[in-house]
Chain A
Amino acid sequence: AQTVTQSQPEMSVQEAETVTLSCTYDTSESDYYLFWYKQPPSRQMILVIRQEAYKQQNATENRFSVNFQKAAKSFSLKISDSQLGDAAMYFCAYRRGGATNKLIFGTGTLLAVQP
């Protein structure tokens, strides 16, 4: 069975600094997708970034980028120039390839941004 592990329950970063959130996963599949979702306090969860396993290039979305290490089964999220609005719970998620859109989530990392 596939699993997703986020080993950092809480992280803190100073405004304008860079922070990296860790995620590892376990799968025997070769075709899969990885995601980072953000859940701000009392607000809806939204997709931050998505990575296809077959793509070697790391995905980026503005200040958010990933370090995808397929052999190590690692998928970390880097937030550059952190802003107060980045404070949220961040979830790493996995989906195997194919028709199903079922996601397997990690336990989340709560990110605090200090002014």
Chain B
Amino acid sequence: DVKVTQSSRYLVKRTGEKVFLECVQDMDHENMFWYRQDPGLGLRLIYFSYDVKMKEKGDIPEGYSVSREKKERFSLILESASTNQTSMYLCASSSQGFGTDTQYFGPGTRLTVL
């Protein structure tokens, strides 16, 4: 079974703190994604990576950065957390190639910024 894990299920941070969310997948997937999920807005793509050290902005990259130094690990960084970044953050991974585009999701991190 594909396994995608996220470092924390719940996180509470203060405004202005630097926040790291970690995601690890064990299926040697090339693609990794960070989404944020908000009620009534669905999932919105923040950043994705299709290879080590490669990244592309998604639909809502402002206030976030990412790092992918190893294939299995994709980190989301909030440089200076703000209250409007309180949300559920989901990581996903997928393989490349025709017919292998299923995204496998982690359990999510519910981040509260006070």
Chain B interface residues (CB < 8 Å from chain A)? 4, 31, 33, 35, 40-45, 48, 50, 58, 90, 92, 94, 96, 101-103, 105-108
Contacts and interface: CB of A to CB of B under 8 A. Distances in A.
B103 A47 contact: yes
Contact of B96 (A50, A91, A101, A106): A101
B1 to A, nearest CB: 11
Given A101-B31, A102-B58, A103-B103, 16 more contacts: A4-B42, A44-B106, A44-B107, A44-B108, A45-B90, A45-B92, A47-B102, A47-B103, A91-B42, A99-B96, A100-B50, A101-B50, A101-B96, A103-B45, A107-B41, A108-B42
Interface string A37-80: 10000011111001000000000000000000000000000000
Contacts of B48: 101-102
A105 interface: yes
Contacts of B35: 105
Nearest to A46: B105
B50 to A, nearest CB: 8
What are the nearest 8 A-B pairs in CB distance?
Answer: A45-B105, A107-B42, A105-B43, A105-B42, A101-B101, A47-B102, A101-B94, A101-B31
